[in-house]
Structure formats: structure tokens, C-alpha cells
Structure 1
Amino acid sequence: MEKNIHEDCGVAMIRLLKPLEYYQEKYGTWMYGLNKLYLMMEKQHNRGQEGAGLASVKLSSEPGNEYMFRERAEGKNAVTEIFANVHKHYKDFSQEKLSDVSFVKANLPFAGELYMGHLRYSTTGKSGLSYVHPFLRRNNWKAKNLCMCGNFNMTNIEDIFEKLTDQGQCPRIYSDTYLLLELMGHRLDREVERNFVDAQKLGLTKRDITHYIEEHVQMSNVLKTTMEDFDGGYVICGQTGSGEMFSIRDPWAIRPAFYYIDDEIVALASERPVLQTTFDLECEDIKELQPGQALIVNRRGECSLQQILEPKERADCSFERIYFSRGSDRDIYKEREQLGRQLTEPVLKAVDYNTTHTVLSYIPNTAEVAFYGLIHGFKEWIDARKVEQLSALGDNPSPDELYNIIRQDVRSEKVAWKDIKLRTFITEGTSRKDLASHVYDITYECIQPYKDNLVIIDDSIVRGTTLKESILRILDRLHPKKIVVVSSAPQIRYPDYYGIDMPRLEEFCVFRATIALIRERGMEHLLKEIYEACKKELEKPKNDAKNPIKNAVRAIYKPFTVDEINRKIIEMLRPEGMTTPVELVFQSVEGLHNAIPKHRGDWYFTGNYPTPGGMRLVNQAFINYYEHVHPTLSEA
């Protein structure tokens, strides 16, 4: 109900397969790749509004001249800012000079053949330009320069940190991005040195060795020796100073990546519609990068798909379909519509099948398509009742009888409006809480007070903060007979360790409600049992296939039904003084799988983490919770 689940990061890559002169002649500008990257990043603005960066590699450069370029910025306008900064380099040159490709290649930055962009949403809460991708690792050897960005969150950084220190390295920063860059850079160094030895064996010397290295670097070797130990969801993109480009997807297919190849370009993005719109393509033109697979383009422009890691059981993130990705994707639109449509029966039950006095609405904006699905479901139900009523009229129905039947329809209104954004400079508690209650506004007199039920649908309910502080309070001003809050996603019970770093279980309203039920019913012993079980799970050897780590936290929900938890959530979130009856309706896990059959990554809802790292982190999260709440008991 509130946007506390944020977007994942977005990536975009373009490799021009023709000389810049080709694009100047065909498209009227050598900036074809740069312009397309801008479009791809703007089309993925939904995936990150905290920062953005771009990088470019120029293949034809002489010693003493820069060949790798990077621009980064923070803030929601970062995409505009970084491209404006790039174009500042060109403002003092005449159009004649800017059309002279030979001059451009020799003198202007970002006039390259490789382009890479990143949109950032922080999964760790860390901010500052130093955390904005792409990351860059410099070296005097072109082939050893590495620029990297990605959409990822790794769950086993402790293991990777230990591996690096065992190699004798001393990392300066403890973060998954930095450690990945250093580990991959270390492996790239070894690959370059392997080719250096091979070149010497062939009798090559001086710059001939350099040319040999740049033509024979195998990024597949680098990726295989870098990524084998990582646990998490990721799409990692990179480019080297010598002109290698690559993107690799995690073996569980948790994070998404799509690509397109023709004789002019290779392009990759986090979402399929981005490529469709940018390059005017059909769905069938675009391919999905497969689990553990890498798309690699060498400096000669030769493309290959290589299996770097053994594919695991697929766990494509279902929340990509519910919320993260844009709804303009053909399949995602259908899936979100189905999520709403199949909630028809439980919503009808919640309003006692009284469609005459029920108004449907939604919380802007990501629930809009599910809202349409719910409307379609209501319409189908009403149409079926019309058929029954018409059939029962007999041979000579009166015009009034016919009219009363055919006029029955779905009632829908835009009830809620996203009005203002809470200003963070106000920190005083009472003032801040009062402002939060005005984040949304309503359409006044859009329902009949005390007669109409109001159904409001959103994509998810996470913490419940906005529901308590704003939504319920402001909807109550309309004086509906009943408010039914609908989530097109199931109850969110567990953190996501593969995209959004939200490690504390107590942040989720479903968890808090369950804890309250346990205490009400005198079942505190269950918490102690789960705590001990979590500790035993963490004692298991890592990566033990015969005795894999399990999610012991799941036991906390077993004693209760969804409806019991729902009622407790409403009791906890109901604003003081509110008297309107409120009911919660969640999507079922079975309904989720029915609507989104190809994306089975449902750990948010079921706790079925696809990787050992996810299982370890959720057990640790409960231990952290228990030891904070019961410090003396945890020591016993």
C-alpha cells in the first residue's frame, strides 16, 4: 500500500557493430549509440531514481589519449544531468566539426563503440556518488581496465571478502559491488597475464604483445572464475578498455535481462519493452538471457552466448511482474490483469455480493492494471446474473423490468489521488505524522455515504505505515459502509535478499500481526523454539547438498490462517477514532502462481528462498529480532 518496496536497479548496454561513419551516414549522427542509450535509460527510469551513470569505450585511440569515459550523478534527475554533462563537451564545436567523424573519434569524449548505463536504487541504504554505478578499475594496460555495473544483491559477501583476503588482497570497501569489481578485476589481470605468456612463447615483443592480448582475451574465463562462488540475484554488465563487453545472469534467473542483436547493434536491458520502444521491435525479436548465461561481444564485434554457470532450478522474481517492471510489457500486462480478475470472488464475498452499492477504485499507479482486471471480473459476474434474471422474466417482461436488469453495471471511481511527497526536512514527530496523513487526497462525494462499500486495490501491502497514517484515515472521510482493502500480491512475510535490502522481519505488518497473535494466545514458547531452530540451521555446513539449510522462520505462521492474520493487521493499523468496518483481501499464493506461471520466485510470500544465502539470512533475521526483543532469554 505504500511504496516502501522500491524498484530494482536498471541496466542498459549497446555495442555498435559498424564504424561510426556508418551511423553518421545512415542516421545523420555518429551519436546514434549515445542517443539510444539515453532512451533506454529514460524508459527504465522506474527502476532507479537515486542516481545514474554511463560509461563508454573508444576502440580506436592512441597512447596518451583517453579511451574509457564515465559520467555519474545523484538524484531523480540524474539521467538528464549525466547526458547534459556529456553534451557540454560538444557545445564549443561547430556543426561541421561535429559531423566530421574522423575529428570526433580523435578528439571528443564518449565518441565510442561501447556504451553502458545504470539506474540506481540503493539496496543497502548507502548514498553518495561513490556508490553510483558504473564502477571503474584503472590500469595502464587497456585490457586490464574494467568498468562494471549491475542489478544485484549478493547474500554471501562475508565469504567473498574472506576469499579475497586469502588471496593476499586488502579490500578498502566492504560492499558487494566493490568486492565483485575487485575479484573480477583480479581474474581479468590473470587472463591478461596468461595471454602475455602465450604471446612471448610465440616470439612476440613490445606492442605486438599488447595487440595479441587484446585479440585473445577470453571474458568467459574471467566470468567462470569470478562468479562461481557468488550467491544472490544478479545481472552483471561490464566492458574493458580493450573493447570486450559482457553481461551475465544469475543461475536461478532471479533478476531479468533481455537482449537484441542485428548487424548494426547488440543491445541489452533489464526490461523487454525498453528494447521494443527504443529500436522499434516486436516481442519476438527480443531474447531473454538464460540462467547462468553470458552475452559476450569481443573487441572485433563477434557475439556469443556462453554458459558460464550451471543453471539451477528457475526462481524468476515474481515481484518483477507484480511491481518492479513496467506494465507496458505484453505479458506483464496480462499477468497483472489476471491478478486482479481472479480476486473477484473474494472481493464479492467481502461486500456480500452487493454490486449495486459497491465502488471499485485503486491506489495509483502500479495497481491500475490489476484494477482493470477486477473490473472485468465484476462485469463478468454481473453479466452472468443478468442472464439469469432475464431468463426468469418469462415471455412478456415489462420495459421497466428489462431496464432494471440491463442497467446493472460495475461502479468505479478514481477515489484516491497521490497528492504530495513528505518533505524530509520536517523531523518533529507530530508534524511529520500529520503531513504523512496528507500524502493522498480523495475525490469527495464520489460514493453514497453509509450506503456504498468502497473497494480499494493496490499491488502490495508491506509495512502498513501509509495504510495506517494516510489511506484509511482519508478514505474514512467519505463515510463508506465498509472499506475493503485489496492486495494483488499475497501477504509479504519475508525479506527480499536478492534485490532490496530489507533485512528486519519486524518491518513487515504481517510479521508484527503474527507476533501479536502469538502473545495474545500465550504461545511465546513458539518464538523460543523457532529461535533455537534458526541457530541450528546456521550451524549447518555451507553448501551441504545432503543437508541443506532450511527456513525455520516459516513455523511462525503455521498456527494461523490468512484471515486471522488479516483481522489482526486491521486491528493494529486502524487509526484511532475510525469506526468504518475494514476488511483485508490478499491474493493467494496459488492465485499468484496461476497468474504468473513462469515466474516462480515467491520467497517474499512463502519463504522458499532459492539459494542457501537467502535461507541463512532469513534465519539470522529472526535471531536478530529475538535477541533484540528478548535479550535475557536469548542468553539462557
Structure 2
Amino acid sequence: MSDAIKHECGLAYIRLRRPFSYYQQQYGTVFYGLNKLYLLMEKQHNRGQDGAGLATVKLNTEPGVPFMHRIRSSQPQPIAEIFSKVREEIAEIEKYQPEITKYPGLLKGHVRFLGELLLGHLRYATQGRNNVELCHPFVRHHIVPARNLALAGNFNLVNVQELFKFAEKFPEGAHRNSDLAAMLEVIAHFLNKEDETRQNGLDVKNILKQAFSMFDGGFHVSGLIGTGDSFVIRDAHGIRPSYYYINDDVIVAASERAAIRTAFNVGENEVHELMPGHALIVNPEGEYEITRILEPRERRACSFERIYFSRGNDEKIYKERLQLGYNLAEKVLGDIDNDLKNTIFSFIPNTAEVAFYGMIKGLEDYLNKIKIERILSWGKDYDPEKLTEMVNRRVRIDKIAIKDVKMRTFISEDSGRNEMVQHVYDITYGTVKPGIDTLVVIDDSIVRGTTLRESIIKMLDRLGPKRIIVVSSAPQIRYPDCYGIDMSKMGDFVAFAAAIELLKENDKEHILQEAYGLCKELERTNTLHAQNVVRNIYKPFTTEQISAKIAQIITPKDINAQVDVVYQSIESLHQACPSNLGDWYFTGNYPTPGGNRVVNKAFMNFMEGSNERGY
């Protein structure tokens, strides 16, 4: 993706089902669980690089001995930072008390993070930037073991203030707008209530039913309780991804299927998807159940997971990204008038590469069809040279754009800084026939268009192409997200900017004012969630009109090439990713009422000149 956006988070949960001595004998290390958690987190590092955290719970500790521990980091390499500190603690014991390492039971008492329950988290900051205090897991300590809770997840909630009000908690500082802090307080409320009335152990299912019915958002959450109970739960629409794997030794859950497969070397069919509205609940004895907590609703799994966010080594995601590219081939052929001879195809590194392969496959299928038709039309009127020329025709591909290491600049003036930003990408010289070739480059998606305008288009134009066509494997991003992706400001979307420009050019600015007035009325009547008013701004224009205006917006001054933009259609997106139909950032069709409230609030902020988030 050329425009980097903050998104998602990564979750890793492990419940060891055997004594530590078993892992030492079976796998050669008492640190089997910690090693696997490290792998799960590293294999999901794409989901969060602003911070990381680890929490553990030890079972059957002596009264007064700490049993829940946590460590967090917001350093540049947070996973490495966390596990290096864990390793330092182990190394100190190995150096000064080596005899302890022979006895797993003793070692458990000396290594803080050697617990049977392990919870890891990777964070992208949507609130509070890289404040370590906002890194998951959050922990609530209490003198009663059953009221201790560690919580982490991949989610955003849009009703945070209502939740704090319910729990009668009004935190200050960094936690004031934290959705995890609000979630923690609500769950703790019902956990304490359950502990007051319980007879024989906690009814975790009942706690989850009461608490999670109150949360408006998409979520994949895991919690560790001081009793040794634990859970993983997914929202009713299945917005956020959730997978699990269970054998006699471990119970594992994570945000990505491929991470579990790699860390535990298991087949695809051994890793299961946690269904929407369901929870994986594990009791202190290591027995588990998968049970419905929330009434499942229409499945609206996030399509951006398939387009960009999840790692592409999952075989299903890989095939879907190939299909996304393949589906664009016909559109692109039409845009270049089928002139493959004078067109070069490339991609914007690095995550658009798989969609690029899919697009090339579609183009090659077309070219092969033409070859067959031409050869058949010759009958016997051909010679080896003519036939060789036809058979050897290829789709022209080159690696045109090269993404360099992250550029840093000491220049503070905008003009100097913008000049430096141009060089985030570089180009391969000598690949284009100047003034003749069309250059087609595919990107995952176009959010702001800033990097295209300030860097990529300028760099590509240096090669002298007649045209530059930017192809997006995602449809136009028109609306904010509030379920885990940090896209919450209307002014950030180049599609919205294009619609505004078109309204001005066509003397339809009154539509903006009418939409703003309707939003204010909905706000006055406390019904801002009732409808998505921003849809009215796009209605007067076709997708093609908005695409053409986006092309104008991302075209820098003094560019010689004609610049065009081609987008994936909503229908093609759904055909490529049939199990992930969540498309609200493209269509405005939000799965929960909170989404409508967020988009309307974001629009009001735009109209009022406020740079605040929509939630």
C-alpha cells in the first residue's frame, strides 16, 4: 500500500495443558510455551509495530505468591525488547542458580513469565500514539484471585463513553478514550458480580454474555482470569479474524491462520476459524468448550484483511489476492485499447505483488486466446519465422518501482521535506520507450493519494511514459472505519476530496450544506446512528467520474504523462473474497449502528474544520 495507514492489531493466546516437566521431556525445553508465543507474535508482526505486550498466569501458586505478570514495550522493536528482557531474567537464573533449571517446578517459581496461560499482543496505535500505557494487555489486579483480569484484543469500540458511564469509571489521561480500558471495566464489573454469587467456580460464559452484548464494534479479544480461566471471543458479525488450534498439549488462538500453522507446523484443516459470536472458553483444568455467546448476525468479515492487512502466505488469502488482480485484467485491457505491445506492467512494492501476478495471469490468458485465434486464421499460410514471432509474444513486465528504506530528513521546511519525500521510491531506468509506452502499476488500495502525488507519479514520469495508469486492487475508499483500522477522518480520503471537487464544479455545493444540516438534526435528536448521511455526497456522480477526478488530484504539476486510475469494482471484490464481505469503507454499509454515527461525526468534523477523530 503506497499510503501507509495504521490498522489492526495482532493477538496470540496459548494455554499449556501439560506440566512443565512434560514439555522439557517432549520438546527439550521448559520454555516451550514462551518460545511458541514468540513465534506467533513474530509471524504476525505485520499487524502491529507500535508496541507489544505479554501477560502470563501461573496455576496453583502458593497463597501470597504473585501469579499474574505483564510486560509491555513501545520501543522500535517491541517484540524483541519484551523477549530479551524475559531472556535476561532466565539467563540470570542460569548463571547464579543453575541447579534450579533442572527442576521445572522450581523454575516456574523463579521466572515471572513462565506460566501456563500466555497472552501476547501487537499494537498499531489508533489512540495515544506510541504510549506504552496504552499497549495491551491491560491488567486489573485485585487481592481476590478471581477478580484479576488481563485483557488484549484486535478491535475498536464506538461506544466507549457509554461503557465508562455504565461501569461508573471515568479515567483520566491516556485511558480516557481507550476502548480497551472501557472493555476492561465492563468485564470486571460482571466478573466481580459473578464472583460474589458463585458457588463452584466462575461461570465465564455468563460473564461474557452480559459484558459483550454491550460492545458496539468489531472485536477479537482474549482474557486471562486469576482463577486460571481464560477465553477468546469474536464479534457477532465476524468483522475481526480469529483462528484456533487444539491438541493434547496446547490450546492456541491467533489473529491469523498462517501464523498458527507456521508456529506449530500443522495443516490448514487443523486450524479452525472461531465463528462469529462464539467464544473459546478454557477452565482451570485445561478443559475447553466452544460456545455461542452472541447471536450471530450477517457475516461481515473485513475484506481489507484479504486485500492487504493479513500476511499473504495463508493459501486462501494468496488465492484471493491473485483473483483480485485477475479480475482487473479485463478492465485494464479496455483502458489501454488492448495494446499490450506498447504497455509495461508493474506493481507498487511490496504488498501489491500477489495481485500483480493475478493481473498478469488474466492478461496472459487474453494474449494466449488472441494467439490461438490468429494462428488458426492463417490456415496453412505461415512460415517458422511468422509462427515463432506470434508464439513468443509476451505481456511486458518489469520491476519499475523500488521502495527504499524509510527516508528520514532533518529538513523542517515543507518545500525541502516534500522534495525528500519524493525519494521514498526509486525507479528502474531504461525500461520504458519514452513517449510510446503506457505504464500500468497496481497498488493494493488508494487511501489519501499523497504518496502517489508526492513521490510515485513523479518518479514514474521520469521514465518518459506516454500514460501512467494506477490500478487499485481495492474499490474506492469513501468512508471511515471504526472496527480496527485507523481511518476515521473524512478529509483523509482522496475519493471524498474528489466528490467535493465535483460538487463545486457542478454548482452542487448545497448538497454539502444539506448533509451537514441533516447530521446536526440527527445529533440533536440523538439519532446520529440512524443513517449514513455521507452517502448523499457521492450519489450525484458515477464511479468513473470520481475515478477521473482522483486521477487529476494525484497528478502533480509539471507531469508530462497522462495519469489515469482504475479501481476494482465492489462486485469483483466480493467474487474474489466471498467469505469476507465487509465493505463499509467502500460502500458505507456499516454492520453496526455505531458505524453510521462515526461517519456522520467525521463528516461534521470536516465541515467544522476540526481535525478530531470520528470516534
Query: TM-score under structure 1 normalisation?
Result: 0.92
Match of 1:451 in 2: 436
Corresponding residue of 2:193: 190
Which of 176, 179, 183 lines up with 2:179 in the alignment? 176
Gaps of 5+ in 1: 199-211, 630-636
C-alpha separation in 2, matches of 1:131 and 1:106 = 29
8 A contact 1:494–1:618 mirrored in 2: yes
Q: Is the 8 A contact 1:24 1:99 kept in 2?
A: no
Q: Counterparts in 2 of 1:158-173, with a 5 A limit?
A: 158-165=161-168, 169-172=169-172, 173=175
1:79 corresponds in structure 2 to 79
Match of 1:622 in 2: 603
Who is 1:421 aligned against?
406
The one-letter amino acid paired with 2:233 is I
> Counterparts of 1:436-447 in structure 2 under 5 Å?
436-447=421-432
Tell me which of 149, 152, 158 is aligned to 1:149. Answer: 152
What's the % identity of the aligned pairs? 48
* 1:452-483: CA deviation from partner (whole Å, max 9, x where unpaired): 11110010000010010000000000001211
State the partner residue of 2:613: none
Is 1:262 equivalent to 2:262 in the alignment? no
Counterpart in 2 of 1:584?
565
Give 5+ residue unaligned stretches, structure 2.
611-615
User: Which residue of the other structure, out of 456, 468, 471, is the alignment partner of 1:483?
Assistant: 468
Shift of 1:540: 5.7
Task: Assess if the C-alpha contact under 8 Å between 1:437 and 1:473 holds in 2.
Answer: yes
- 1:181-260 aligned at under 5 Å gives the runs 181-195=184-198, 198=199, 216-260=201-245
- Where 2:441 maps in the other structure, the secondary structure is strand
Distance in 1 of aligned mates of 2:230 and 2:52: 19
Distance 1:422 1:558 in 2: 40
Aligned-partner Cα distance in 2 for 1:90–1:503: 43
* Structure 2 match to 1:344: 329
User: Is 1:421–1:439's contact at 8 Å kept on the other side of the alignment?
Assistant: yes
The answer to whether the aligner puts 1:63 opposite 2:63 as a matched pair is yes
SS at match of 1:601: coil
Instruction: Give the superposition deviation at 1:581.
Output: 0.8
Q: Residue in 2 aligned with 1:633?
A: none
Q: SS of 1:574's equivalent?
A: coil
The letter for the 2-side match of 1:571 is: Q
1:613 paired with 2:613, answer no
Q: How far has the Cα of 1:503 moved from its partner?
A: 2.0
Residue type at the aligned position of 1:578: I
1:459-478 equivalent positions in 2, closer than 5 A: 459-478=444-463
SS in 1 for 2:233: strand
1:359 aligned counterpart, secondary structure: strand
Task: Summarize deviations over 1:353-385 as a string: whole Å, max 9, x none.
Answer: 111111110011111110000110011000000
Within a 5 Å distance, the mapping from 1:560-571 to structure 2 comes to 560-571=541-552
Q: Which moved more, 1:89-98 or 1:483-492?
A: 89-98
**1:132 CA displacement:** 0.7
Using the alignment, how far apart are the partners of 1:422 and 1:518 within structure 2?
37
CA shift at 1:170, angstroms?
Answer: 4.0
Deviation sequence 1:224-271 (CA, Å, 0-9, x none): 121111100111111012211111111111001000111111000000
The answer to whether the Cα contact below 8 Å between 2:128 and 2:134 also exists between their aligned partners in 1 is no
Q: Distance in 2 between matches of 1:612 and 1:494?
A: 14
Taking the aligned partners of 2:410 and 2:490, their CA distance within structure 1 comes to 28
Map of 1:315-394 to 2, 5 A cutoff? 315-394=300-379
Instruction: Indicate the SS of the match to 1:552.
Output: coil
User: TM-score, normalised to structure 2's length?
Assistant: 0.96
- Is 1:101 matched with 2:86? no
Deviates more, 1:278-287 or 1:106-115: 106-115
Identify the range of structure 1 (41-50 vs 439-448) with the bigger mean alpha-carbon deviation.
439-448
Encode CA deviations 1:82-134: one digit per residue, 9 max, x unaligned.
Answer: 01101111112345532321221232211211111000001235331101111
Q: Distance in 1 between matches of 2:195 and 2:545?
A: 61
Is 1:133 aligned to 2:136, yes or no?
A: yes
Shift of 1:81: 0.9
Question: Once structures 1 and 2 are overlaid, which stretch shifts more, 524-533 or 406-415?
Answer: 524-533
In structure 1, C-alpha distance between the alignment counterparts of 2:426 and 2:564, rounded to whole Å: 21
CA contact (8 A) 2:409 2:420 kept: no
User: What is the rounded CA distance, in whole Å, between the counterparts of 1:12 and 1:558 in structure 2?
Assistant: 42
SS of the residue 1:116 aligns to: strand
* Kept after mapping to 2: 8 A contact 1:367/1:458: yes
- 2:512 is matched with 527
Once residues 320 and 586 of structure 2 are traced to their aligned partners in structure 1, the CA distance between those partners, rounded to angstroms, is: 17
In 1: Cα distance, 2:412 partner to 2:167 partner: 42
How far did residue 426 of structure 1 move? Answer: 4.1
Q: Deviations over 1:21-54 (max 9, x none)?
A: 1111100111111100000000000000001111
After TM superposition, give the deviation of residue 537 of structure 1 in Å.
Answer: 4.0
2:494 matched to which residue of 1? 509
Give 1:532 deviation, angstroms: 2.5
CA contact (8 A) 1:538 1:619 kept: no
Give distance in 2, aligned partners of 1:460 and 1:170: 39
Q: Distance in 2 between matches of 1:333 and 1:538?
A: 43
- Give the whole-Å Cα distance in 2 for the aligned partners of 1:90 and 1:5: 37
**Is the contact made by 1:537 and 1:552 (CA closer than 8 Å) also made in structure 2?**
no
User: Could you tell me whether the CA contact under 8 Å between 1:534 and 1:553 is conserved in 2?
Assistant: no
Determine if contact 2:404/2:425 at 8 Å carries over to the other structure.
yes
- SS of 1:81's equivalent in the other structure is helix
Q: In the alignment, which residue of structure 1 is the partner of 2:47?
A: 47
1:11 to 2:14 alignment: no
Task: Say whether residues 1:2 and 2:31 are aligned partners.
Answer: no
2:321, 2:354 within 8 Å by CA — same for their partners in 1? yes
Distance 1:584 1:125, change over 3 A: farther
| Match of residue 601, structure 1, among 582, 604, 607 | 582
Corresponding position of 1:91:
91
Tell me the secondary structure at the aligned position of residue 437 of structure 1: helix
Deviations 1:515-558 (A, max 9, x none): 01100111111112222233344456669xxxx71211111111
What is aligned with 1:201? Answer: none
Q: Which amino acid aligns with 2:18?
A: K
**Paired residue type of 1:139:** H
Q: 1: CA distance between counterparts of 2:369 and 2:18? A: 59
Give the CA RMSD over aligned residues.
1.6
The CA distance in 2 between the partners of 1:137 and 1:23, in whole Å, is: 30
The Cα shift of 1:73 comes to 0.8
Equivalent in the alignment of 2:31: 31
Q: Distance in 2 between matches of 1:622 and 1:77?
A: 36
Q: Using the TM superposition, name which of 9-18 and 62-71 deviates more.
A: 62-71
- Give, in whole Å, the separation in 2 of the partners of 1:102 and 1:327: 40
Q: Is the 8 A contact 1:2 1:463 kept in 2?
A: no
Give yes or no for contact 1:420–1:438 (8 Å, CA) kept in 2: no
Q: Hey, what's the Cα distance between the residues in 1 that align with 2:494 and 2:332?
A: 21
1:171 offset after TM fit, Å?
3.4
User: Would you identify which runs of 4 or more consecutive aligned residues in structure 1 move more than 6 Å?
Assistant: none
**Within 2, Cα distance between the matches of 1:246 and 1:424?**
45
Is residue 481–residue 584 contact of structure 2 (8 Å, CA) maintained in 1? yes
Structure 1 residue 117 corresponds to structure 2 residue 120: yes
String of CA shifts for 1:369-406, please: whole Å, max 9, x gaps.
Answer: 10000110011000000001101112141112112211
